[in-house]
Amino acid sequence: MISLRLRDLENIPQASIQLPVSGRMFEAPVRGISINTRTLQPREIFWAIKGQTHDGHWYVSDAEKKGAVAAVVEKKRFEQLSPLNIPVILVKDTLKSLQQFSAWHRKRFNIPVIAITGTNGKTTVKEMITWILQTKFNVHKTIGNLNNHIGTPLTLLRLNSDHEISIIELGTNHPGEIALLGSLVKPTAALITNIGRGHLEFFSGIDGVAKEKISLFKSLQKNPTIFLNNDDKKLTATRIGFKNIWSYSLHNKKNPRIKGRLIRLDKEGCGIWELNNTTRIHLHVPGVQNVQNALAASTVGLFFGLMENEIKEALEGYSAYDKRMQIIRNDQILIINDSYNANPDSFPAALDTLGHLASGKNHRKIIVIGDMLELGKKADHLHHELFLRFVDYEIAAIFTIGQYSNKAADLLREKGDQNVYSFTEHEALGIELKKYLKPGDTILLKGSRGMQMEKVLAYI
């Protein structure tokens, strides 16, 4: 169900409307908003956004042919378009107008809106929170990774009168983006999963990352709620200044309101943990970090009135997203596929999971690593620092791909480690890795999304 009408487009600041010559009624039913003619459905409004490689204005005629009920285009481009038989809304800047329209739409709903950001885990936490809350409420959420300056407005425009709670994920890789997105979302609650060394290419170190993430708090509405990760030093060092804080900790730090305790990982690497010293929860998603994510989601669930046993039932039925810490068994080889993303602060949990799953003399630990991207001038140093850390984990072999990983591998070889192998192509790496493997081995496969580390799986 969509809560939009064509006439609502009149709420875009300084917009003008061109009705078709045919005089088609301006009250046609609206199915949604689309910026892509490949996925556009009949009765959607087509918003002509200019991207890095494509310009939506090139496809306005295609949108009409596919059943768009209207198009939003920039005034300076209107005369270049072929004649249209649908209403055309003329604006100065289509991206800015999309953001403005989504902010107007958001104000129509007096419901709890939780904004989630953080360096690692924000998508998983969003999904876990949704999984828990949807047992009691009609939940609106960010779909996939539509969490940027274009995706967030599209997410907001899916809000309708049936929704009772909204869970919005906010991503950033440039200063000022969280402030912008927060001004659109106008959250009533906020959760920052953690602050780590991600996207350093665009920030002045981890303090710059912290400043960007914490700027979310400035967009909060009156009497907001903060879900605070007491295990993150950068967050606990911040003077938040709000009264209603629901703190949580997996390590009982700073006397948290909600407590978690990791008991152990099962043979599949999935956490068995305890909520508030009373409720034992057995997750079916692997990784130590997912216990932390589940604790964050549980805190939100408790805030909204769910009982611990209801949270337990929901979380024990939750399954993971593709490429986010998947456990794959291939004959007698165990693969930890964590190829969705990587940064220096997401590796420790992955390495701990590798250690849990490959304990014992007959289980070799193997790391297959691609570059951590968007680290800027610190890329070489941070890769070297990470690779030196591998020494503490008794790794049998390291297979690398990418310029930074290969340079860091040279450092280990200079120190006498001969079980480090570097490649420039996924195929060559996969073929040599398959030759090296033997029954009982456990592989950690990890790298930034742009490295496409999942390609290695095809060869093993």
Of 288, 315, 342, which marks where a domain is finished?
Answer: 315
Query: Does some domain include residue 98?
Result: no
Query: Does some domain include residue 235?
Result: yes
Residue 107 CA to residue 93 CA, distance in Å, equals 21
Of 68, 93, 118, which marks where a domain is finished?
Answer: 93
At 14-36, the pLDDT tens digits run: 998 887 766 555 666 788 999 99
Q: Are residues 170 and 290 in the same domain?
A: yes
Q: Are residues 144 and 193 in the same domain?
A: yes
Q: What mean pLDDT do residues 38-57 have? A: 91
At 205-220, the pLDDT tens digits run: 778 788 888 899 989 9
Amino acid identity at 204: S
Query: Does some domain include residue 53?
Result: yes
pLDDT band at 261 (very low <50, low <70, confident <90, very high): very high
Number of domains in the chain: 3
Domain residues for the domain of 170 are: 109-315
Q: What mean pLDDT do residues 433-453 have? A: 93
Of 315, 348, 382, which marks where a domain is finished?
Answer: 315
Q: What mean pLDDT do residues 75-95 have? A: 90
Query: Does some domain include residue 1?
Result: no
At 299-355, the pLDDT tens digits run: 999 999 999 999 999 999 998 766 577 888 888 899 999 888 888 888 888 898 898
Q: Are residues 252 and 143 in the same domain?
A: yes
Predicted local confidence at residue 30, as pLDDT? 87
Read off the CATH number of the domain in which 35 is found.
3.40.1390.10
Query: Does some domain include residue 165?
Result: yes
Q: Are residues 130 and 74 in the same domain?
A: no
Q: Are residues 249 and 352 in the same domain?
A: no
Q: Are residues 274 and 235 in the same domain?
A: yes
Read off the CATH number of the domain in which 443 is found.
3.90.190.20
Mark residue 255 as left, alpha or beta (left: phi above 0; alpha: psi -120 to 50; beta: remaining): left
Query: Does some domain include residue 64?
Result: yes
Q: Are residues 215 and 81 in the same domain?
A: no
Query: Does some domain include residue 103?
Result: no
Q: Are residues 83 and 124 in the same domain?
A: no
Predicted local confidence at residue 199, as pLDDT? 60
Q: Are residues 307 and 332 in the same domain?
A: no
Read off the CATH number of the domain in which 214 is found.
3.40.1190.10
- Residue with more model confidence, 402 or 201: 402
Burial label, 178 (beta-carbon count in 10 A; 0-12, 13-18, 19+): buried
Query: What 3 state SS string does the chain have?
Result: CCCCEHHHHHHCCCCEEECCCCCCCCCCECCEEECCCCCCCCCEEEECCECCCCEHHHHHHHHHHCCCCEEEEEHHHHCCCCCCCCCEEEECCHHHHHHHHHHHHHCCCCCCEEEEECCCCHHHHHHHHHHHHCCCCCEEECCCCCCCCCHHHHHHCCCCCCCCEEEEECCCCCCCHHHHHHHHHCCCEEEECCCCCCCHHHCCCHHHHHHHHHHHHHHCCCCCEEEEECCCHHHHCCCCCCCEEEEEECCCCCCCCEEEEEEEECCCCEEEEEECCCEEEEEEEECHHHHHHHHHHHHHHHHCCCCHHHHHHHHCCCCCCCCCCEEEEECCEEEEEECCCCCCCCHHHHHHHHHHHCCCCCCCEEEEEECCCCCHHHHHHHHHHHHHHHHHHCCCEEEEECHHHHHHHHHHHHCCCCCEEEECCHHHHHHHHHHHCCCCCEEEEECCHHHCHHHHHHHC
Q: What mean pLDDT do residues 45-55 have? A: 90
Q: Are residues 231 and 119 in the same domain?
A: yes
Spatial neighbors of 428 by CB under 8 A, at least 6 apart, are none
- Residue with more model confidence, 25 or 382: 382
User: Closest Cα partner for 158 from 321, 387, 343, 4?
Assistant: 4
Query: Does some domain include residue 320?
Result: no
Q: Are residues 157 and 289 in the same domain?
A: yes
Q: Are residues 266 and 333 in the same domain?
A: no
